[in-house]
Amino acid sequence: MFIEVLTEGSSDVPVVREVLVRQFGLNEHADFRIHPHRGRGNIPTNPLAQPDPKHRGLFDQLPAKLRGFGKYMDEQCLVLVLVDVDNDDCVQLLAQLNELLHSLPTKPPRVMFRLAIEETESWFLADANAIKKAFPNAKLNLIRGIAPDERVGAWEKLAECLGYKPLTDAPKKTHWAEQIAPHLNLNTPFSPSLGKLITGLKRELN
C-alpha cells in the first residue's frame, strides 16, 4: 500500500506524518508522500479543464491531480485528501467532493476524503496535555471550555494560548504543529474528526 496525501498547507503536514508514522508504522517516501498546497482554493467549474498555474490551492488542483493519479494507481494505492472544514457544512462539503470524484472519467480506485473540524489546529486544542508538553508555558486557561472540534477560530485560539497575538504576530502554524503533533494522544484522540481520520486509515490499511 502506498498513500498519496493531499493537504491544504504545510502546517497540516506534521500531524498527518505523525499519524502515519507513529500510529501505523509507515515510512515517509517508502510508504507515503504528503503534498501541501497553498490554501484551499476553489473547485473548478470544469473539473476536466487544465488547472490554472496561478491558482495553487488544494481544490484548484484537485481534479487534475486525481485524474493524474488515476492514470497509474491501482488497488494497492490510496489517495488521502485532508480538508479543513472552516465554516462549511460537513455533509455538503463531503457531498461536493464525492460529486467531483464521480464526475471524473479517470480517477484512482481508492480515494478517502477526511475533514478537519474546524481545522487541524482544532486537533491540538482538543489535547491540552499535548500542548503543555510541547509548550510548558502555554496559557491553557484560555482554551478551557472549548469543546473538541468546536468552531472557534482554532489557529487564532492556539496562537493566543501560546502567547501570540493573531492580529499582529505572524502565525507560526507549521512550527507549532511540529512541536505539538508528537505528543498527541492518537490511541484515543480527543478530537472526533482526528479519530475519524485514524479509523478511516485503519480500515483502508487492513
Residue-range domains of the chain with CATH: 2-119+186-205 (3.40.50), 122-182 (no CATH)
Distance CA 96, CA 14 (A): 27
What are the grid coordinates assigned to 47, written together? 473539473
pLDDT digits (tens, 9 = 90+) for 32-49: 999 999 999 999 999 999
| Radius of gyration (C-alpha) of the chain in whole angstroms | 17
Distance CA 54, CA 26 (A): 34
**CA distances to 23, 51, 143 from 152, in Å:** 28, 33, 10
- Distance CA(70)–CA(134), nearest Å, equals 40
* Cell numbers that stand for 111 in this block: 480515494
Residue 119: closest CA among 172, 193, 37, 24: 193
Longest CA span, the chain: 52
pLDDT score of 170: 66
**What pLDDT was estimated at residue 153?**
95
Q: What are the pLDDT digits (tens) for 161-183?
A: 999 987 777 679 999 999 999 99
pLDDT band at 184 (very low <50, low <70, confident <90, very high): very high
75-82 mean pLDDT:
98
Mean pLDDT across the chain: 96
**What percent of the chain is modeled with pLDDT above 90?**
95
Sheet holding 2-7, edge to edge: 32-36, 2-7, 77-84, 111-116
pTM for this prediction: 0.95
